[in-house]
Amino acid sequence: MLENIPVLSCILLAPLVGALLVLLLPKQQGSWHRVTALVFSVIPLVLTLWLFASYQTATGGAPYTEHFTWLSIPLSRDLGQDISSMLVNFDYHLSIDGISLPLLLLTSVVSVMAAIASVHVRKRWKMYYALFLLLETGMYGVFLARDLVLFFIFFELTLIPMFFLIGVWGYFAREKAANRFLVYNGLGSAAMLLAFLILIATAGFTAVQGTDGVQIAYSGSYDVLLNNIADPNAYANMDPSQTGDAGLHLSEGLKNWAFVLLLIAFGIKIPIFPFHTWMLRVHTEAPPPVVMIHSGVLLKMGVYGLIRFAAFLLPAQLEDWSTTLAVLGVINILYGAVLACVQKEFKLVLAYSSVSHMGIVLLGIASLNEIGLQGAIYQSVSHGLISALLFLIVGTLYERTGTTQIDELGGLAKSMPFLSGILLTAGMASLGLPGLSGFVGEFLSFLGLFGSMKWLTAIGVLGVLLAAVYVLRSVLGITFGPIPDRWTDIKDARFVEAVPMIALTALIVLLGVFPSVMTDMMQQGFNGLLEQIQQRAGG
């Protein structure tokens, strides 16, 4: 029954429909908007869960793929003798595999939780929920799209709602944070666009022999690019002296440029060391539900992009750059951790800890083996859940106390035992306690990288120690110690706040105890890349 329904499109479009519906609802009915947003966030969750349950590692995402040409523009370049037509195609191509499905799942879970957590939003619900749902569409699109142009569109689509969500509903310096966000990500997008153009212009075409000549079609299709770049006999890889056209040759130099551009583009999103400052502001200034999305999902878009485009399309360059990537990862880990140790603002601690954790993801990618790569994705998912949980707590805390300064808080375990327990659990997950999801991601990343770069791993492992320092310092600072008088009467989490916390905690525990629920699936996703790397190693 469900086989005939375009599931992926439904996932993609449900939030969009929700957004339109929210816009149509009368302004006064705040709760209607909330319910609508929640319902239209739950639909994709149900669908992704169904996908997850029915996903067969043998067939991969093929049964769910949706592909048709959306726009086709003829190019009136002077055609050669045997070329019948030249087209630029814009494809609508959605698919999933073992890499995108976990992230899709993460997106839907975090979205629902953030939608629930949005109860604290106090003004302009209508616009808030409309933008929120639009943001969701963008995120699903990013993880579903298999066309470079489509990916780019969705990637950009996340920027706009985020900009307004930060700028309108944030805290005091919200406009500044929103601007910073837009500037950095705009820069990243520019780099990405350039890289995509290089790739499409050189390797993104198919030549089909028709009855009246060769039909050449340019498109951003990921599969086409993947085949063309991997195939040494493809036009893009042939020596220009053979083809006589220097402009279309994807030379090693050009590949390098494309890789670096992609690294910058996604490095800003992840964020990699010198590009991380925008993220700090977003973490501190954006409203907590938005940070849940941001830290939980948006940063992972960078990881996903890096793996999907930089690693899969240009594995040779990834290999050349892997040491750099690992060094950057180690810098991220230690830099973020050391800075997290001295922050006075809890949200900044979390922001720097995100920097540190994303460094571990980089290590996983740089390891170039299946353990590390899976570790990278696993760590992404796990960090998504953990930081979503942490910011959920931050939101609740701020709602009660009006501050997130560690010095001003303290002893909250007395008045809010439930919240403190969850906070402690989340902190433990964040510092990589076995039995919680953070450990598996960290362990796999380190294990993978250790196979290729021992010393760097040994240095990077220090980050785990520093994680203990900053997590305990901040979490204990908030929950332990004597309680100031003004916090003795604050109430513990309400039911509506407790539900997402329990759900996220349960997921974190589940992933920590049974990691194989996800790793089997991811294994299939990485097969292609690993084959290529092994081929290069062999040849």
Partner 1 sequence: MTFAQYAWLVPLFPVAAFAVLITLGRGAGRQAAWIGTLASLVSLILSLCIAGERLSGTVDEYNAHFTWLQIGNYSLNAGFDVTNLTSLMLVVVTLVSFLVNLYSHGYMRDDERITTFFAYVALFTASMLGLVLSDNLLTLYIFWELVGVCSFLLVGFWFQKPEAKAAAKKAFIVTRIGDLGLLIALLLLFWYMPGNALDFSSIHNVFTTEAGVIAGGITTLIALLIFLGAVGKSGQFPLHVWLPDAMEGPTPISALIHAATMVAAGVFLVARTFVIFQASDAAMTTVAVIGGFTAIFAATIGLAQNDIKRILAYSTVSQLGYMMLALGVGSVSAAMFHLFTHAFFKALLFLGAGSVIHAVHTQDIREMGGVGRNMKITAWTFGIGALALSGIPPFAGFWSKDAILTAALTHQPLLFWVGAVTAFLTALYMARLFFMVFAGNPRGEAHAHESPAIMTLPLIVLAVLAVVAGFVETPFNGWFGEWVTGEKPEAHTSAMVIVVSVAVSLLGVYLGWLIYAKGTVRRDIVSSRIPGLVKVLENKYYIDELYRFILVKPLGGLGKALAVFDEYVVDGVVRMAGQSAAGLGRLNARLQSGQLQGYALTALIGLVIIALAIAGRRFW
Q: Distance between CA atoms of 181 and 202, rounded to whole angstroms?
A: 32
Within residues 250-289, the interface with partner 1 by CB under 8 A covers 273-274, 276-278
Q: Tell me: does residue 469 bind partner 1 (CB under 8 A).
A: yes
Question: What does DSSP assign to residue 247?
Answer: G
Q: Tell me: does residue 441 bind partner 1 (CB under 8 A).
A: no
Question: What is the CA 322 to chain-centroid distance, rounded?
Answer: 20
Q: Tell me: does residue 417 bind partner 1 (CB under 8 A).
A: yes
Q: Tell me: does residue 111 bind partner 1 (CB under 8 A).
A: no
Q: Which of 38, 461, 490, 510 binds partner 1 (CB under 8 A)?
A: 461
CB of 390 to partner 1, least distance (A): 17
Structure tokens at 99: 């890499």
Binding mask 324-363 for partner 1 (x = CB under 8 A): -----------x--xx-xxx--------------------
Q: Which of 479, 493, 497, 505 binds partner 1 (CB under 8 A)?
A: 479
| Residue 61 neighbours by CB under 8 Å, 6+ apart | 55, 95, 96, 97, 100, 101
Q: Distance between CA atoms of 224 and 205, rounded to whole angstroms?
A: 7
Binding mask 9-38 for partner 1 (x = CB under 8 A): ------------------------------
Q: Which of 17, 66, 206, 451 binds partner 1 (CB under 8 A)?
A: 451
Q: What is the 3-state secondary structure (H, E, C) of 253-281?
A: HHHHHHHHHHHHHHHHHCCCHHHCHHHHH
Cα torsion through 147, 306, 526, 433, rounded to 10: -140
- Angle, CA 425 vertex, CA 376 and CA 458 arms, to 5°: 40
The count of chain residues that interact with partner 1, using the rule CB under 8 A, is 57
Q: Which of 286, 314, 326, 428 binds partner 1 (CB under 8 A)?
A: 428
| Choices 107-115, 232-240, 316-324, 475-483 (CB under 8 A): range interacting with partner 1 | 475-483
Q: Residue 491 burial by CB count (10 A; 0-12/13-18/19+): exposed, middle or buried?
A: exposed
| Residue 97 neighbours by CB under 8 Å, 6+ apart | 60, 61, 524, 525
Q: Tell me: does residue 414 bind partner 1 (CB under 8 A).
A: yes
Order of strands, sheet of 213-219, starting from the edge strand that comes earlier in the sequence: 66-74, 83-94, 213-219, 205-210
Sign of CA dihedral 126, 128, 129, 134: positive
Q: Tell me: does residue 490 bind partner 1 (CB under 8 A).
A: no
Helix/strand/coil percentages in the chain, nearest 5: 75, 5, 20
| Choices 19-27, 139-147, 369-377, 387-395 (CB under 8 A): range interacting with partner 1 | 369-377
Within residues 180-209, the interface with partner 1 by CB under 8 A covers 180, 183-184
Q: Which residues bind partner 1 (CB under 8 A)?
A: 180, 183-184, 273-274, 276-278, 335, 338-339, 341-343, 370-371, 374, 411, 413-414, 417-418, 421, 428, 433-435, 439-440, 443-444, 446-447, 450-451, 457-458, 461-462, 464-465, 468-469, 472-473, 476, 479-483, 515-516, 519-520, 523, 530
